[in-house]
A and B are shown apart, each in its own frame.
Chain A
Amino acid sequence: MFNRELKNQIKSLHTLQGVGLPRAEWLKGNREILLMQIKNTLAPAKAEAPSFQFVQVWNFMNVFMPRQAVSYIMKPAAVMILVISLVTGSWVTTVSASYDSLPGDAMYSVKLATENVQTSLASKPQETKLRAEFAGRRAEEVKKIVKSNLSKKDKKIKVEEAVTHLKKDLEQVKGNLDAMKNSASQPSGVSANQAVEVAKVVEQKTTEIQKSLEQTKEDLKVDVKTEPTPLTGTLSVQEQVKQATATTVETGVKAVEVMVEKHQADGATMPAQEVKDAVDSKLKALEVKVNQVETQINTIVTSTPAGVPTTRKEQQDAATLMAPAKQSAGVAKEALNQAKDELAKDNFNGAMDKLREGTALTQVAEVKADAAVILKAPMQEITTSTLPTVEIKNATSSVIIAPAVKPTSSATSSIEIKK
């Protein structure tokens, strides 16, 4: 039998009268039941649908165009059209269209692209202010992601994306502030008044971001006990938030440096009292931070991460591990006190030097405390474990220690200052 003949015979099965055809009455009855069932699943109709919606166009393209064309041509084109319309449109439109989107959302790329276009069109001082504003948005995004019901893996990926953008924006702000601070390389067209104005905005914004990130850290504390330390390469959500906080603090200090610099160049640009208040607020923030780190160190010495009081022997071991962190915190406090003394004498430069030193040392103390916590954890497991084998101990320690003592960017900078 030939293939063609065979194919025709198979096809003929479908043309057999009555074979494989549904009963007409069933077809009709089932249609009515089906439509009734689906009507019950529909949400109540909205008051009045607008005459034109972007979604309609999008649906039309999705249905009538090949999938590849939609993915590779229409999606990027649609994003560009949206960006252009949002940028050229009003600020309110921009906010309402993509403001609430988070990393991973469809509108997030529109949000970032819109921000990029805004910064590229703005003057240097305006760009710096915008970037500080956008960094604030990233901090809020991190807060929302941490509070969401997403899985730990998804949270980590999304937080990582937001933190990367936050750090990128703040690094750019720091670079711009540096350029404004240094009169010789001051970008053309940026007056001392403008520089001070930008510095004030950045200082205010970084304080807000810092508060938001500190709040996020508190929210994360619940997860800290259960989340394993990443072994290689990637950072945990806590570490990412800590790094973001460190960059924020550094940017805030840089903004105050600009204020001091401009005040010293021309007293009329910014009154001495305002500069003093700005430095003082940074010193107070540092004091709070140092005290937090000290409390953290003491808590770790006297109890387990789960809050169970430790034995005397464990306390001695923990105190030994925490000694470097405690020492750094002590030196940081010393630098802070010296900064206060300098400020009292209206020696802004001296106060700023000590403020920078204290900030860096506090970060070092925090890193050392974190490293000690990780070193302490396996020790406790070993002392309470019923299967204490030397091989396991060594393996556990060596695997966990490696990433824990890996210096972060903040740690590196602080060590340089210490020298």
Chain B
Amino acid sequence: MSDHLKEKWLLYQLKTKHEPEIYGQLYDLYAPKIYRFIYFKVSSSMDAEDLTAEVFLKAWEYVNKNKEIEKFGGLLYKIARNLVIDFYRKKSTHEINLDETFLQKISDAGATVEKMAVKSDSQNIMKGLRLLKEEYREVLTLRYIDELDAGEIASILNKSSINVRVLIHRALKTLRKIIDQNQNV
């Protein structure tokens, strides 16, 4: 069964039975993805863990109150996005700092990176992503790292699909420009 169908089946069962174990299966399906989505936005894995846990608790409130849920994944990303916004509001800083350990992993010090032929490219991409404005970084990570389609991203960001496609196009263009500039320096 594809993840998409599995999600729908689990959501149906959850709405009908309200069983925690079914919610647990949805957690298994989405927790790594949501964690990664948050991890790319916040400064540490500890914060990412806390926020991921909160996302699943908030999503349960939706399920428990029988609120209409069209796509469970979309709901989780939406909650995650809002929690990250709140997180930065509380921290009173809008600067996105990527995890030190993450940078280490793709830097010379990381053992993993040593095995990678694309090391310098990855570093460039990361640098470029860090320099992008939040809106562009968000659509690119949702599209290429979380592998969501334009429709799903549109529903998470409350935009139209066309708008999202335009944003992705502009974000890629800007990222390419930044990387080219960095390479020329």
CB of A193 within 8 A of chain B? Answer: no
Task: Write the residues of chain A forming the contact surface with B, with a CB cutoff of 8 angstroms.
Answer: 1, 3, 6-7, 9-14, 16-23, 26-27, 30-31, 33-35, 37-39, 41-42, 55-56, 59-60, 62-64, 67
Structural contact, A31 and B28, CB atoms closer than 8 A = yes
Given contacts A22-B31, A63-B8, A64-B12, contact A38 B60 (CB under 8 A): yes
Cβ–Cβ contact A22 & B118, under 8 A: no
Smallest beta-carbon distance B61→chain A, Å = 8
B97-118 vs A, Cβ < 8 Å mask (1 yes, 0 no): 0000010011000001000101
Q: Is the CB of A13 within 8 A of B126?
A: yes
Q: How large is the interface on B (under 10, 10 to 19, 20 to 34, 35 or more residues)?
A: 35 or more
Q: How far is the CA of A42 from the CA of B180 in the complex (A)?
A: 55
Closest to B46 in A: A26
Closest 8 CB pairs of A and B: A20-B36, A10-B144, A22-B35, A14-B145, A59-B15, A63-B12, A35-B20, A38-B60
The CA of A56 and the CA of B15, in the complex, are separated in Å by 8
Q: Does B31 contact A9, Cβ atoms closer than 8 Å?
A: no
CA A18 – CA B145 in complex, angstroms? 14
Choose among B8, B61, B68, B122 the residue with the greatest number of A CB atoms under 10 Å from its CB: B122
Contact partner of B49 among A13, A30, A41, CB < 8 A?
A: A30
Say yes or no: is B70 at the interface (Cβ < 8 Å to chain A): yes
State whether B36 touches A12 (Cβ < 8 A): no
Q: Is B53 an interface residue (CB 8 A)?
A: yes
Checking A33, A60, A62 against B53 with a beta-carbon cut-off of 8 angstroms, the contacting residue is A33
B49 contacts A26, C-beta separation under 8 Å? yes
Q: Is the CB of B172 within 8 A of A6?
A: yes
Interfacial chain B residues near A11, Cβ < 8 Å: 144-145, 147
Show 29 residue pairs from A and B whose CB-CB distance is below 8 angstroms, ordered by the A residue: A6-B175, A6-B176, A7-B172, A10-B129, A10-B140, A10-B144, A11-B144, A14-B144, A14-B145, A14-B147, A16-B106, A22-B32, A22-B49, A22-B52, A23-B45, A23-B49, A30-B56, A31-B24, A31-B31, A34-B23, A34-B27, A34-B53, A34-B60, A38-B20, A38-B23, A38-B57, A41-B60, A62-B68, A64-B12
